[in-house]
């Protein structure tokens, strides 16, 4: 049985999106490797704060039907560079039970393992669902601070939490909470100012598609991030156009009494839309590395919505913050024009005509890619977004529909076949300099 310190997958436990059948052999091997990762590896693989993606990678390819051999290969490719400096001090863990002392350890990666042990203790005493509710949605100063940190690091803590919840693995939930605690909180003004302005507004909210267009039309926001900015949200958007940005993000609001299934599907469709359509002809299509984190995170939303322990109020707020960060992320990469024809008219290159519309073939192809899991996460997120969008295709806010999903999935598969897998900060011409042009291929 899965516990706060033990990973144990079963093919009978169906995550939010998987292939039709999962093998016992793959479940056992994935459990074994994730346990090794849990026991031996830091959540960052270097002191610069680059994330360990082993959990994300293995659970995604497992869900997409990867063989035990492929799962082992992906693990071996990525374990070699992980940090193994895991240690904790019992005195620090004891301190963390005091909210006043808890906060002095926040934001410092050297306390990752202390936080991990702390949250494992808490889960053993209270149950993992109660711990998540207390430490992220409790409403006190500590929970409000941690909720901000959950969205830091390009959504990695929230992505990690999503995997833990979706696959019902308390040990991975504990990793996610510890990861949250060692991230920073500089993004707080985006959420807090947006909430304050939303309360002051008398007009209704807008859809993400409408707000993406509003960002495109706002010269101050478009010009706020600079290519030279080290952090284009913090040093660009928030520093130079923070008020204008939160004027727009405050207009996106999901309420507890809304149709939360539709609101979730709408967000997943919208993030797929701006991630896929941010292209720059005549360069070959590439997806933006930062946008794919918004997309990859969205796959967990239906699973979170289905949790009986997560209130509608807390889910609505979580979804609202997710949409607001998606808007800020879009703006931070230069607010590129969204070229829908790049998706709707796309012709697959890697897969044959007979295979390009077969999702099992798409999964098989992406599971071959030797990376740290980002590409397989993109495909699984698109497959889930397609599934939840299907019944809303007649609604104007759902831009991608029908065969667009297969075309976008093939674009994603093709984009990682040669050269750099991703373009970084796709709204800037500089980002495309090394990307070949289509006419030269």
Residue with tokens 């373009």: 423
CB 114 within 8 A of CB 93: yes
pLDDT of 100-128, one tens digit each? Answer: 999 999 999 999 999 999 999 999 999 99
Same-domain status, 353 and 436? yes
Encode 143-158: b = buried (16+ Cβ within 10 Å), e = exposed: bbbbbbbbbbbbbbbb
Q: What are the pLDDT digits (tens) for 418-433?
A: 899 999 999 999 999 9
**Looking at the structure, do residues 151 and 206 belong to the same domain, yes or no?**
no
302, 173: one domain: no
Q: Work out how many domains the chain is built from and give that number.
A: 2
> What number is the average pLDDT over the span 71-84?
96
Q: Which domain holds residue 379?
A: 187-441
Residue range 13-25: mean pLDDT, rounded: 90
CB 190 within 8 A of CB 250: no
Note whether 327 and 426 are same-domain residues.
yes
- The radius of gyration of the chain's CA atoms, rounded to the nearest angstrom, is 21
Dihedral pair phi/psi, residue 422, rounded to 5°: -130, 155
Task: Assess whether 224 and 121 both reside in one domain.
Answer: no
Domain boundary among 167, 185, 203: 185
DSSP labels, 134-148: HHHHS-SHHHHHHHH
Handedness of CA 70, 34, 322, 388 (dihedral sign): positive
Say how far apart CA 66 and CA 72 lie, in whole Å.
10
Q: How many CB atoms lie within 10 A of CB 206?
A: 17
- pLDDT the model gives residue 440: 54
Tell me: the pLDDT tens digits for 135-144? 999 999 999 9
Q: Is 438 exposed, middle or buried (0-12, 13-18, 19+ CB in 10 A)?
A: exposed
Please indicate, yes or no, whether residues 323 and 312 belong to a single structural domain of this protein: yes
Tell me what pLDDT residue 13 has.
Answer: 86
């Amino acid at each position: 049985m899965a516990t706060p310190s033990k990973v144990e997958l079963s093919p009978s436990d169906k995550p939010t999106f998987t292939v039709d059948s999962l093998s016992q052999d793959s479940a056992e091997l994935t459990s074994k490797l994730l346990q090794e990762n849990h026991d031996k590896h830091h959540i960052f693989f270097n002191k610069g704060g680059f994330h360990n993606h082993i959990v994300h990678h293995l659970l995604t390819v497992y869900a997409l039907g990867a063989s035990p051999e492929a799962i082992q290969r992906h693990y071996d490719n990525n374990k070699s560079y992980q940090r193994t400096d895991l240690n904790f001090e019992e005195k620090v863990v004891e301190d963390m039970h005091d909210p006043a002392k808890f906060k002095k350890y926040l934001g410092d990666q050297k306390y990752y393992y202390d936080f991990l042990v702390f949250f494992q203790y808490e889960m053993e005493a209270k149950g993992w669902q109660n711990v998540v509710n207390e430490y992220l949605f409790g409403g006190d100063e500590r929970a409000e601070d941690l909720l901000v940190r959950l969205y830091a690091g390009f959504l990695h803590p929230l992505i990690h939490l999503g995997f833990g919840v979706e696959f019902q693995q308390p040990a991975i939930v504990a990793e996610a909470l510890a990861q949250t605690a060692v991230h920073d909180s500089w993004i707080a003004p985006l959420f807090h100012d947006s909430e304050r302005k939303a309360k002051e507004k008398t007009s209704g909210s807008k859809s993400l598609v409408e707000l993406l267009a509003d960002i495109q039309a706002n010269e101050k926001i478009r010009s706020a991030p600079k290519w030279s900015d080290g952090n284009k949200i913090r040093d660009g958007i928030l520093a130079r156009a923070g008020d204008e940005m939160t004027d727009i993000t405050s207009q996106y609001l999901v309420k507890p009494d809304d149709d939360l299934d539709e609101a979730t599907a709408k967000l997943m469709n919208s993030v797929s839309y701006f991630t896929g359509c941010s292209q720059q002809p005549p360069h070959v299509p590439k997806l933006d590395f930062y946008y794919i984190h918004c997309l990859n995170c969205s796959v967990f939303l239906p699973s979170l919505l289905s949790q009986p322990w997560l209130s509608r109020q807390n889910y609505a707020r979580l979804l609202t913050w997710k949409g607001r960060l998606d808007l800020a992320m879009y703006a931070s990469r230069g607010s590129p024009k969204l070229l829908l024809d790049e998706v709707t008219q796309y012709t697959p290159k890697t897969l044959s005509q007979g295979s390009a519309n077969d999702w099992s073939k798409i999964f098989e192809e992406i599971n071959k890619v030797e990376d740290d899991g980002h590409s397989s996460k993109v495909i699984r997120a698109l497959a889930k977004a397609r599934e939840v969008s299907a019944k809303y295709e007649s609604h104007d806010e759902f831009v991608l529909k029908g065969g667009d999903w297969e075309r976008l999935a093939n674009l994603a598969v093709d984009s990682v076949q040669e050269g750099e897998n991703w373009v970084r900060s796709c709204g800037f011409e500089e980002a495309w300099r090394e990307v070949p042009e289509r006419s030269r291929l």
